[in-house]
Homo-oligomer: A and B are copies of this chain.
Amino acid sequence: MKMLIIYTYPHHKSLNFAFLQNVINGSKQNPNIKEVQVLDLYDEGFNPILVFNEQKRRRDMHTDPAIEKYRQQLTWADKIVFIYPMWWGRPPAMLLGYIDQLFASNFAYKDKKGLFPEGLLKGKSVVCVSTMKGPTHYPFLWLNNAHKTLMKRALFNFVGIKKVKFFEFGSMESPKGKQKKKLEKIYKYFSKLDH
Q: Within 8 Å CB of A100, what residues of B?
A: 87-88, 92-93
Contact at B143–A150, with CB atoms within 8 Å?
A: yes
Q: How many chain A residues touch the partner (CB < 8 A)?
A: 39
Q: Is A155 engaged at the interface, CB distance under 8 Å to the other chain?
A: yes
Interface string of A142-163 (1 = CB under 8 A from B): 1111110110011100100000
User: How many copies of this chain are found per oligomer?
Assistant: 2
> Across the two chains, which residue of chain B brings its CB closest to A159?
B88
Contact at A89–B52, with CB atoms within 8 Å?
A: no
Q: Which residues of A contact B (CB under 8 A)?
A: 10-11, 13, 42, 48-54, 87-90, 92-94, 96-97, 99-100, 103, 115, 134-135, 138, 142-147, 149-150, 153-155, 158
